[in-house]
Structure 1
Amino acid sequence: MTTIETQWKLAGKRWTENEAERDARMKELDKLSGDSKDGERAIVDWEKIDSKARIQNRMNGLGMHDKAEQFANDEIIAPDVFERILNENELTEIVFFERGMVAARSVGRVVILASPSRRLGHGSGVMVSPRLFLTNNHVLTSEAHAEHSLIEFGYLTSIGGLREAYPFRLAPDEFFVTDEELDFTLVAVQPMNDASAALQSRGHCPMIPATGKAVAGQRVNIIQHPRGERMQVSMRGNRIVDIPGNFLHYETDTEPGSSGSPVFNDQWEMAALHHAGVPARDGNGKIKLKSGGTWRSRRDNDDIEWVANEGVRISRIVEHLKGLDLASPQRRLFEQTQRPPEPMDLWDLIEGRSSPLSNGGMQMEAGGIASNLGAGISGPHIGPDGSPSWLFRLNFGPVSK
């Protein structure tokens, strides 16, 4: 059985062992923002930044197919191409937030229960198919824990105030796969909750098997429930600094309870599963504390000096799962994790327009009144400063008959 402390130590070990390669990578990335003495752009050694296959895949993922083909033949990347890959331009289209809102619907807070009356803590996780939920092994270590634990969706604060969570029970008897080394657990969720809400209405974030969904130097975004609190997001100010084997190291703000959070690129494709902070280590390999001294027990957890965070690469999790001898029902459930969900257009919903979806339509609850797509939204409410606001609540799924 792994613990979060075990994962911290392993992450710190990987960080230390990869120091030379990481320093070389960061020097090349720094060239992209610096000017040479002659006023010409510095030549970037892409081989020190990331692997050729991952960079090619990222180019294709960004629609840069011509550049990817040229790179395959010439093995040269101009600095302006790298800048586009790394998205250094901080101007972001509104669709960035729209996709983020859709992704957030799939993220849930894990309430870890040893029994119906004994709570052990919290974690985070994400739906990766209409039935399967992904989190860390150290969050849900066994089928017994999963049998009692709950997933709560929509535990957040919105313009309308605090939202009530939508709890769902797990179904480990239908699907449960866990791995300590990659620190993941994939488990089935009951299709309906006790209030007859449909799990499928939450949507999902597929597990894309291709590598290179985010390369070194790119920014990542994390949707999380830190310390079991209401949903929060860390966006854009976080870049990947290292790729040690099965893992990504990145700069971002996470807290205990964020274990199992999905790590997204700017297209809101899931690149990694957050699982541990990377603690600073002294010359003897011991975890350092901000107040001085070294880590001794869990009472020191809030005083640890962090240098980065670590996530498990989604491509490596998919590769591991593909190699398992799953029974036919479980294999069918797993294969659904690589299929994209039905598209959702939030603006069509907000503005009352029809949206061409194949799931039989959507239902919208506006101001507490359930209505079909096209009905009005409550408001506007005029604030003290004269600004209008609307209160709306969205449920994605088949329209009730």
Structure 2
Amino acid sequence: MSPDVPEPPAGETKEEIIFRDDTVPFEFLLAGEAAGRAVARLKVTPYEAGAPLGPGGYPHAGTGWLVAPGLLVTNHHVVNARTRTAAGRAPVDPADLALQARNTRCRFDYGADAAAAATPPDEVAVAELLAWDEDLDYAVLRLADGPPRDPLRIAAAPLAVTPQEPVPVNIIQHPGGEPKRVALRNNLVYEADAKDVRYFTDTRGGSSGSPVLTDDWTVVALHRGTRRVEDIVYQGKTTAFVNVGTQISTIMQHLAEHSPAVHREIADAQALLGGRRPAEVV
């Protein structure tokens, strides 16, 4: 038997879905909070010739997240810790890159409440840089003392989108090195290919390395920056930029080819999360 719903005021009709149903289950909020526990603010001190850089060598901020117990993913350019110029980011000597990774500090549970607390959350040290690629812009770090919490679940296949079926994505991030924020609005994917996912979700400096997540909080891409575009209209306005991330499935394929031990550690952890056999994790 249908509930007795009052009639709307004169001139109005009963509620309708506008374009498409953008509602999500209430449990979406609870699952998002759990996902956020795997995301950390990173501070990376730049080194040169084995020593911290002098004036101007302040720590670079970024975001990272757990992909397996004790393994954290971020961008290569976050660990590279060099400011972008017109010519791009300066290359860092491999020995200095390893030093920068080992001196990275990860702060989990860094939200607005933690920022206002008299005692900030403890920072987690990094033991080593395990794998990286400059083109795909990823780096995998092993934590010296990983926090006891679940990693994020990652997608086994590339995200595919069509103009008829837009996909919303959400980004948990530390913009500007500030307390954790989540982008939930204006968040549709513009397009995706074998390597990249491009989306309108808001980010800014310090968001590099954030997980790009679908509404079930599965990571589909690693956020890395923005790209200038032309003739793109979103919500009735022309935009000059879209944000871009690397497909996580492409990163996993690269790890399988170049760092098989790291790939296997991640795949085994992901199999436990999703109830899949290790062979089913790309």
Relative to the length of structure 1, the TM-score reads 0.51
Ranked by relative contact order (alpha carbons within 8 Å, sequence separation 6 or more), the top structure is: 2
Q: Distance in 2 between matches of 1:110 and 1:306?
A: 29
Q: Distance in 1 between matches of 2:115 and 2:223?
A: 28
Q: Distance in 1 between matches of 2:263 and 2:135?
A: 22
Are 1:88 and 2:20 counterparts? yes
Q: Which amino acid aligns with 1:215?
A: V
Are 1:245 and 2:194 counterparts? yes
1:185 match:
139
Residues 206 and 337 of structure 1 are in contact (CA less than 8 Å); yes or no, is this contact kept in structure 2? Answer: no
Residues 263 and 311 of structure 1 are in contact (CA less than 8 Å); yes or no, is this contact kept in structure 2? Answer: yes
Residues 40 and 64 of structure 2 are in contact (CA less than 8 Å); yes or no, is this contact kept in structure 1? Answer: yes
1:102 match:
34
Q: Distance in 2 between matches of 1:263 and 1:234?
A: 10
Q: Deviations over 1:199-248 (max 9, x none)?
A: 12x32103332233x63411110001111111111014211111143001
Q: Select 1:258's aligned residue among 207, 219, 224.
A: 207
Name structure 2 gaps, 5 residues minimum. Answer: 1-16, 81-96, 232-238, 276-282
Report how far residue 315 of structure 1 moved. 0.8
Q: Which amino acid aligns with 2:134?
A: E
Q: Distance in 2 between matches of 1:225 and 1:277?
A: 16
Q: Distance in 2 between matches of 1:263 and 1:229?
A: 18
Report how far residue 334 of structure 1 moved. 3.3
Residues 114 and 149 of structure 1 are in contact (CA less than 8 Å); yes or no, is this contact kept in structure 2? Answer: no
Are 1:153 and 2:108 counterparts? yes
1:313 match:
247
Q: Which amino acid aligns with 2:157?
A: A
Change (3 A) 1:161 1:144: closer
Relative to the length of structure 2, the TM-score reads 0.71
Report how far residue 92 of structure 1 moved. 1.9
2:161 match:
215
Q: Distance in 1 between matches of 2:154 and 2:191?
A: 21
Report how far residue 316 of structure 1 moved. 0.6
Q: Distance in 2 between matches of 1:323 and 1:331?
A: 9
Q: Which structure features the higher share of helix residues?
A: 1
Report how far residue 171 of structure 1 moved. 1.2
Q: Distance in 2 between matches of 1:96 and 1:270?
A: 15
Residues 168 and 215 of structure 2 are in contact (CA less than 8 Å); yes or no, is this contact kept in structure 1? Answer: yes
1:9 match:
none
Q: Which amino acid aligns with 1:221?
A: N
Q: Distance in 2 between matches of 1:311 and 1:326?
A: 23
Q: Which amino acid aligns with 1:181?
A: D
Residues 177 and 206 of structure 2 are in contact (CA less than 8 Å); yes or no, is this contact kept in structure 1? Answer: yes
Secondary structure in structure 1 of the residue aligned to 2:79: coil
Matched residues, percent identical? 30
Q: Select 1:111's aligned residue among 33, 36, 43.
A: 43
For the pair shown, the structure with the greater C-alpha radius of gyration is 1
Give matches, 1:16-27, under 5 Å: none
1:274 match:
223
Q: Which structure features the higher share of strand residues?
A: 2
Q: Distance in 2 between matches of 1:239 and 1:177?
A: 30
Residues 241 and 251 of structure 1 are in contact (CA less than 8 Å); yes or no, is this contact kept in structure 2? Answer: yes
Q: Distance in 1 between matches of 2:263 and 2:22?
A: 41
1:134 match:
73
Residues 161 and 191 of structure 2 are in contact (CA less than 8 Å); yes or no, is this contact kept in structure 1? Answer: no
Q: Which amino acid aligns with 2:67?
A: V
Q: Distance in 1 between matches of 2:170 and 2:242?
A: 14
